Structure 1
Amino acid sequence: MLSKVNKILYASDIEKGSRPALRAAVNLCGRYQSEITYLHVIEPISSAIKSRINDLIEEADLDELYNESLVNLKHKLEKRVDDFLKSEMQESDVLKITKIKTRIEEGVVWKTIVKVANEMDVDLIVMGTRTSSSAGQFFTGSTANKVMLNSKRPLLIIPLTDKE
């Protein structure tokens, strides 16, 4: 087991079924008295789509919409964490909402996870994976697999389903 875990980066797509990975990150956080950063990465839109949108909406309006969307997404992440803690944590549990920070970044998902992990100097990355078969992971490559191959930090990968 890891000897010292002060900072955990939990990367999530916030889709249905990602709760087991958050549960694992929270359990580790409680065990090691560490901090969690809940990272959600937004894939950049293609230049073709961006061009189409710019034809329809003024740039200033588009920037305002984008910034509003980021604020709404951050609130969604914070609510998700709060709901999780209320439903799963006991009053006696050490972990408090202040130990979980949310962060939203834009970029290629696996590259951004590795970049943020290095930037923050985290001790552990926790994330889930939904790829159903090892052959599927081998041929298409999952985000978790790409993070594992490109990061020098310990990585805990939790298999996910769409049920929880």
Structure 2
Amino acid sequence: MLPGVNRILYASDIRPGSRPAFRAAMSLCGHYKSQITFLHVVEPVSGHAERLVRSMMSDDPSLKALHDESLQHVQQQVVERVERFCREELDASEMLADGQLEARVEEGSPWKKILEVAEEIDATVIVMGVRHQNSLLGDTPTKVMHHCRRPILTVPL
């Protein structure tokens, strides 16, 4: 085990099948009585798609409101997912204290945001699920590992 784990960053794509990685993060959190941040990163719309939407909405000021509203909706989905996981999979001895878990939704390049948030919260360890698709680990986990100076726990999904 890692010595002195006091802050865990769990990065999730919130796709089906990601529970084993969250379970590992929660297990670490329970073992070390640490803080955990659940992070989901929303990739920004491509420049072409944004120009298309702007042309259809003719620079309508409600575009920013719509964008902000959709991010809030994703934030609420993440919070509900975390609460559902805790209800369904944790027993009373594993329940977290108030303030021990923070759920965040950020917008940007996933691997860069994971590193930024890890730095911001001074994460002791980053926990990520790994989907074995085209490459050995996947684009985001590979880039995080190549650019990170913190321990990373990868969990096969």
The answer, yes or no, to whether TM exceeds 0.5 is yes
More moved, 9-18 vs 92-101 = 92-101
Contact 1:42-1:105 within 8 A present in 2 as well: yes
Count of residues paired in the alignment: 156
Matched, 1:107 2:104: no
Contact 1:38-1:100 within 8 A present in 2 as well: yes
**In 1, Cα distance between equivalents of 2:122 and 2:60:** 36
**In 1, Cα distance between equivalents of 2:111 and 2:72:** 23
Partner of 1:143: 140
Letter in 2 for 1:149: H
Letter in 1 for 2:92: E
Could you state the TM-score of these two structures normalised by the residue count of structure 2? 0.93
Partner of 2:125: 124
Could you state the TM-score of these two structures normalised by the residue count of structure 1? 0.89
Contact 2:86-2:95 within 8 A present in 1 as well: no
**In 1, Cα distance between equivalents of 2:32 and 2:60:** 46
Partner of 1:62: 63
More moved, 88-97 vs 78-87 = 88-97
Describe the SS at the equivalent of 1:144. Answer: helix
Partner of 1:7: 7
Cα gap change, 1:137 to 1:93, in 2 (>3 Å)? closer
Contact 1:82-1:97 within 8 A present in 2 as well: no
Identity %: 44
User: What displacement does 1:94 show?
Assistant: 4.5
User: Over residues 86-106 of structure 1, what are the superposed CA-to-partner deviations in whole Å (9 max), with x where a residue is unaligned?
Assistant: 001112325236311111111
Specify every segment of 5 or more residues in structure 2 that has no aligned partner in the other structure, as ranges.
Answer: none
Partner of 2:44: 44
Specify every segment of 5 or more residues in structure 1 that has no aligned partner in the other structure, as ranges.
Answer: none
Letter in 1 for 2:129: G
Letter in 1 for 2:23: R
Contact 2:36-2:100 within 8 A present in 1 as well: yes
Describe the SS at the equivalent of 1:137. Answer: coil
| Aligned-CA RMSD value | 1.5
User: Over residues 43-76 of structure 1, what are the superposed CA-to-partner deviations in whole Å (9 max), with x where a residue is unaligned?
Assistant: 1111111000001124411111111111111110
